[in-house]
Amino acid sequence: MPNADYIKSMFNDISSKYDLLNDLLSMGTHRLWKNLLVKKACANSPKAVLDCATGTGDIAFKMDNMKIETIIGCDFSPLMIENANKRKLKTKSSVNFLVADVSKLPFKDQEFDTTTISFGIRNVEKLETSLNELSRVSKSLYILEFGSPKNPIWKRIYFATLKLYFPILSLLTKRSDAYDYLIKSSEQFPSGEKFCDLISKNTTFNQINYTPLFCGIAYIYEAKR
Ligand SMILES: C[S@@+](CC[C@H](N)C(=O)[O-])C[C@H]1O[C@@H](n2cnc3c(N)ncnc32)[C@H](O)[C@@H]1O
């Protein structure tokens, strides 16, 4: 289980390099996956959207082009939010960012039509409480998260290749432990049916399904009532 203080300090420390690292480590594929998440989350033209664990605001900014009345991005790392606000200044976007923990969201019941969380849920310390909070504040939930490929050969190749990137991260940040954490947490985090069961047990959503991406390296989960 991730420790919240450790996670917060890690993301604070890598915040200024986070976007560069994302592009390098995923070879740009995170952009395709995020576009797909936004496409699914906005298919029913939501009016109010929340992006939790927003980081530097990638998902929130992508939604800004979609004529949504209210877009809020929140994250518990103040430095990630500072970087999101710097991006906001450059783009003159109408997205609002705030510091908030996904396990205790400062919003009313069902305030949002849609909530997204991209590469964030794996990192929350209180997973069950956080899923419950996400379902309390929103009518639908869209999650993008790493997982483990089901095919054992592909799984071995994938995680072995990931380990080759380790020196790049050590060079770019003082937190090489962040990369070790990324690999271990992705290997251990429940994915596919197992994660759908967790959503079902800890939320009031009753229509839950998932789409594997790149043979199960990542998954998009959709939950509605
Ligand atoms: C891997 S980054 C993802 C950022 C962004 N959503 C993206 O897809 O690029 C994970 C983010 O989750 C945030 N986070 C982790 N636990 C959190 C929590 N309990 N509440 C709010 N944010 C959290 C971290 O601060 C970090 O910015």
Nearest alpha carbon, ligand 1 atom 26: 55
* Residues 125, 127, 131: CA angle, nearest 5 degrees: 140
Indicate the SS3 state at residue 91: helix
Indicate the SS3 state at residue 51: strand
Q: What local confidence, expressed as pLDDT, does residue 130 receive? A: 98
Structure pTM?
0.94
User: Is the distance from CB of 91 to CB of 122 less than 8 angstroms?
Assistant: no
Residue extents of the structural domains in the chain: 4-224
- Distance, in Å, from the CA atom of 110 to the CA atom of 56, rounded to the nearest integer, reads 25
Q: What local confidence, expressed as pLDDT, does residue 1 receive? A: 67
| Ligand 1 centroid – CA 72 distance (Å) | 14
| Ligand 1 centroid – CA 47 distance (Å) | 23
Please report how many Cα atoms fall inside a 13 Å half-sphere around the Cα of residue 201, on the Cβ side.
Answer: 9
Residues with CB under 6 A from ligand 1: 4, 7, 11, 22, 53-55, 58-59, 75-77, 80, 101-103, 118-120, 123-124
Q: What local confidence, expressed as pLDDT, does residue 79 receive? A: 95
**Local structure of residue 56 (DSSP, 8 states):** T
Name residues of the chain where pLDDT drops below 50.
Answer: none
CATH number assigned to the domain with residue range 4-224, chosen from the 4 options 3.40.1190.20, 3.20.20.370, 3.30.465.10, 3.40.50.150: 3.40.50.150
| Ligand 1 centroid – CA 89 distance (Å) | 21
